[in-house]
Structure 1
Amino acid sequence: MNYRHIFHAGNPADVMKHAVQALILTHLRAKEAPFCVLDTHAGIGRYDLASVEAQKTLEFEEGIACLYGRPAPHPAVFPYLDAVAALNGGGALRWYPGSPRIARALMRPQDRMVLAELHPADAGTLKEEFAGDRQVAVHETDAWLALKAYLPPKEKRGLVLVDPPFEQPDEYGRMAEALAKAHRRWSTGIYALWYPIKERPAVWRFHDAIERAAIPKTLVAELTWHPEDTHLRLNGCGLVIVNPPWRLDETLREMLPALHGALPHSGGGAKVDWLVPESAEKPA
């Protein structure tokens, strides 16, 4: 409840997460049928990079500021950069779109979005951000309750984005358990679960828990910008993606190295692997 994303908005982790999110939504737009987006940790929607908080850390200078107004490092990054540009009216970089604004930029009239945010002040700001928007519903509620309450959606197609602040020591375990339960409720949806890379053993345990659930078609995409030699900083981040769109893995294998090259880094790189293939059986 103490986490405030404004200090980190637009940093390299946001760039990776939101570029992939935009790419997934672009795939969903390819079919006329409506889709639904459920964002379980929605934040406030947009972030002022000129605010005292953002200026205190300047994390965006090593993220979106390295891409905005410059040639895209890969064509697959265009949907993300277009969403950022739209929020800034095509002018100088001032506002950064959180995941709700990224999604809203790519929704069509037939699509819908459900936003869950537990922090009371942030939930209030989020409601103001989308006031009067009939395609967006904002709920001040716990993320894990939202997965129970709003799945499956009536649209039968869509994306569930799970992006915890990782304030609690059991966050990895809660995510893996929540994914298994949500997938039983809605097995055909696309799920994208974001996680930080600080200490690799924690990530290994998280992946092992998901692998034991044997949820078919589970992809792992990671981007690191520092060597994994310390737990004192954010070395990178990853996404576990269930039911990724067709050939998303191939696109990410090209896009993520291009992003790595465009962002400041002291090492690291990109990795895309299948955690669970299309056909999987649960262990006896």
Structure 2
Amino acid sequence: MFSYRHGFHAGNHADVLKHFVLVQLIQYLNQKDTAYTYVDTHAGAGLYALDSGYATKNAEFETGIGPLWGKNDLPPALAEYINLIKEMNPSGKLRYYPGSPFCAEKILREQDRLRLFELHPSEIKVLSENFRKLEAHQAEQGKRPTVRGKRIIISDTDGFDSLKSLLPPPSRRALVLIDPPYEVKDDYRRVKSALDEAVKRFPSGTYAVWYPILQRMESRELPEKLKRVECKEWLNVSLSISGPAPDGFGLHSSGMFILNPPWTLVATLKEVMPYLVAVLGKDKQAKFEIQTGTPLTGQNPRFKKPGTAA
């Protein structure tokens, strides 16, 4: 159960999709002054070194953040995400990559709250230490909390089970990221059941699910199952940097499924996704797909980059 370490995959093409979309969701929530809660059910270590440790084994960041690092023609929405990564690498050299908790912390406002869950005994130690160092650095810079209550709470409990205790949040605004490792088949089932329960408790929340696109049946069935979760609207975006490997192994595609997405997100994705395909694509099967719909009416026609494979 605890064999998965995200450090092996930090900054890869799947992280680019996940964190770019996450930044857009947070920026949208920031448009209103009312505070909100960010919940990360599988937080990981929070911050990863790309020039040492796990990340150097397969250097997966070379399929994602690496090719984007030196680009000067980024679409504005994608540049927001890249600039966030650059702020964490002040030397100008790509050494550190933030996971979703650090991406969120960087953009959330002082009045907003982070609730982070991680079960892996080694990962949560690193996560806690990374945030301890962050808070110490902020204190050294003279940044002191001006709102009551603890802004960041880290828990070594099951994120799937713990989510329901946080909903509905006091402010009646929340963004939930569900990003399990999917190392066991049961993760797919638990994503769907967690969302069903969450939406019952808090229908107006925004829920984002990252998922891998693999050969296994559970992976391919997950988006269709999520389309039946009761919500106002759903959005499903996927990115493939290549066709499947001959042996069927390796991650070449992933997706983000959002319940109650911002109305502005489709237009942003239609601008950014063709760029990601052009820069990160490895062969003619590189493509993106965007689907929208509701549980009752089904999906709208998908949008694709012209010339991509069907």
TM-score scaled to structure 1, two decimals? Answer: 0.92
| 1:123-134 matched pairs, under 5 angstroms | 123-131=124-132, 133=135, 134=150
Compared CA separation, residues 17 and 278, structure 1 to 2 (3 A): farther
- Structure 2: tracts of 5 or more residues without a match: 136-149, 299-310
Q: 1:173·1:209 contact (CA, 8 Å) conserved in 2? A: no
Cα deviation 1:5-44 (Å, max 9, x = unaligned): 1111001100110011011111111111112110000011
Q: Write the letter of the residue equivalent to 2:123.
A: D
Question: Which residue is 1:174 aligned to?
Answer: 190
| 2:247 is aligned with 1:246 | no
Given the alignment, which residue of 220, 229, 239 partners 1:223?
239
Larger Rg: 2
Give the Cα–Cα distance (whole angstroms) in 1 for the partners of residues 82 and 287 of structure 2. 21
RMSD of aligned Cα (Å): 1.9
Compared CA separation, residues 195 and 228, structure 1 to 2 (3 A): same
> What's the offset of the Cα at 1:200?
7.3
3-state secondary structure, aligned to 2:116? strand
Question: Which residue is 2:101 aligned to?
Answer: 100
TM-score scaled to structure 2, two decimals? Answer: 0.85
Cα deviation 1:145-170 (Å, max 9, x = unaligned): 12122222212112100001011013
Q: 1:217·1:279 contact (CA, 8 Å) conserved in 2? A: no
Cα deviation 1:142-196 (Å, max 9, x = unaligned): 1111212222221211210000101101322221111111111111111000000
Q: Write the letter of the residue equivalent to 2:224.
A: D
Q: 2:13·2:61 contact (CA, 8 Å) conserved in 1? A: yes
Question: Which residue is 1:19 aligned to?
Answer: 20
Question: Which residue is 1:52 aligned to?
Answer: 53
Percent identity for Structure 1 against Structure 2: 38
- Structure 1: tracts of 5 or more residues without a match: none
Q: 1:73·1:262 contact (CA, 8 Å) conserved in 2? A: no
Q: 2:199·2:230 contact (CA, 8 Å) conserved in 1? A: no
Question: Which residue is 1:112 aligned to?
Answer: 113
Question: Which residue is 2:31 aligned to?
Answer: 30
Indicate the larger mover: 187-196 or 230-239: 230-239
Given the alignment, which residue of 142, 164, 171 partners 2:158?
142
| 2:194 is aligned with 1:193 | no
Q: 1:39·1:161 contact (CA, 8 Å) conserved in 2? A: yes
Q: 1:221·1:271 contact (CA, 8 Å) conserved in 2? A: yes
Question: Which residue is 2:8 aligned to?
Answer: 7
Number of matched residues? 280
| 2:59 is aligned with 1:42 | no
> What's the offset of the Cα at 1:210?
2.1
Question: Which residue is 1:232 aligned to?
Answer: 249
Q: 2:12·2:61 contact (CA, 8 Å) conserved in 1? A: yes
Question: Which residue is 1:256 aligned to?
Answer: 273
